[in-house]
Amino acid sequence: MVITSMENAFSLKGKNAIITGGNKGIGYGISLAFAQQGANIAIMARDESTGKKVVDELTEKYGGKYLFYKLDISSMENCKTAVEKAIGDFGNIDILVNNAGIGPTGNVLDMDENMTDWFKCIDIDLNGAVRMTYHVGKHMRDFGKGGRIINISSNAGEVCSKSVNMAAYCTAKAAMNMFTKGMACELARFGIRVNAIAPGFTYSNLLADMPDFALEGLKKSIPVGRLGQPIEIGALATYLASDASDNMTGAVLTIDGGHSLAI
């Protein structure tokens, strides 16, 4: 809906959202932000115990409907089943956040001869979002009430780092950015907006193994002098999921404290 005032412009009240990887890290920040803005949420990931914990927390604190679905985004069949179950439980899906992903580093030429790590990264970080968009996009188109698809990309889809080699990840995220634009064109006539968020370093499990001295060094290389917080990605995702962004589609919004300006 086109807004005419800022009153409730960011509200997600009554909207039904699927958030892949909504149980941890950035996805958890998005789950929290959406719940605080009134959305009902289907969290989809592999780890049932953290998923159920987040569902219990949201149910206790906020007034919406929250359910967990076990999903491995590397399986087309799994994606189909989880989406069908969520549609059955919620009636329809208004918002899809393709957040689940991995962040592998390493040299391409040091991979095994089957290039297992390369294909795994592309299969999860790119094709996982493609599979989910296929199933949820079809539902949104056929249900006829439009929708919002938000892809969690990375600033690594726009720039490479001098210090860490991660060509597979950069390739997957760059392709995700173009997938976002292509799908934005394909789905605009159905009222479905497709946008991406490109975070820089953000506190999550992906950074859990990084030693303190490395984290400190990292902060110094970021113009604003700090890492992002998952809830800040949640805030931007809320904008993209809400009516406030109704005129935006095919955008890739970088949120990285200026890191990609100075890599």
Ligand X SMILES: NC(=O)c1ccc[n+]([C@@H]2O[C@H](COP(=O)([O-])OP(=O)(O)OC[C@H]3O[C@@H](n4cnc5c(N)ncnc54)[C@H](OP(=O)(O)O)[C@@H]3O)[C@@H](O)[C@H]2O)c1
Rule CB under 6 A: say whether 205 interacts with ligand X: yes
Number of DSSP helices (H) and strands (E) in the chain, helices first: 8, 7
Looking only at residues 117 through 176 of this chain, which bind ligand X when binding is defined by CB under 6 A? 124, 152, 154
Told to check if 99 binds ligand X by CB under 6 A, we report: yes
Which ranges of the chain would DSSP assign to H, the alpha helix?
Answer: 25-36, 48-61, 76-90, 116-121, 127-143, 167-187, 212-220, 230-241
Q: Which residues pair with 196 in a beta bridge?
A: 151, 252
Binding region for ligand X (CB under 6 A) out of 33-41, 182-190, 195-203, 215-223: 195-203
| Between 26 and 87, CB nearer to ligand X | 26
Residue whose C-beta lies closest to ligand X: 25
Q: Select 15 or 24, whichever has its Cβ closest to ligand X.
A: 24
User: Residue 24, interface with ligand X (CB under 6 A)?
Assistant: yes
Q: Is 169 a catalytic residue?
A: yes
Label the pairing between strands 95-98 and 16-20. Answer: parallel
Q: Shortest Cβ distance from residue 201 to ligand X (Å)? A: 4
- C-alpha 36/C-alpha 57 separation (Å) is 12
Please select the residue that binds ligand X; options are 3, 160, 206, 218, rule is CB under 6 A: 206
Cβ closer to ligand X: 145 or 224? 224
Rounded distance, CA 181 to CA 195, Å?
8
Q: What DSSP string describes 100-118?
A: --------GGGS-TT-HHH
> Distance from CA of residue 85 to its chain's centroid?
20
Round to whole Å and give the CA distance between 23 and 97: 13
Task: Select 24 or 148, whichever has its Cβ closest to ligand X.
Answer: 24
**Interface with ligand X includes 23 (CB under 6 A)?**
yes
- The token duo for 207 is 């950074």
Three-state secondary-structure class, residue 149: strand
Question: Shortest gap between Cβ of 200 and ligand X (angstroms)?
Answer: 6
Question: Of the two residues 38 and 104, which places its CB atom closer to ligand X in the complex?
Answer: 104
Size of the residue set binding ligand X (CB under 6 A): 29
Residues at the interface with ligand X (CB under 6 A): 20-21, 23-27, 45-47, 71-74, 99-103, 124, 152, 154, 199, 201-202, 204-207
Active site residues: 169
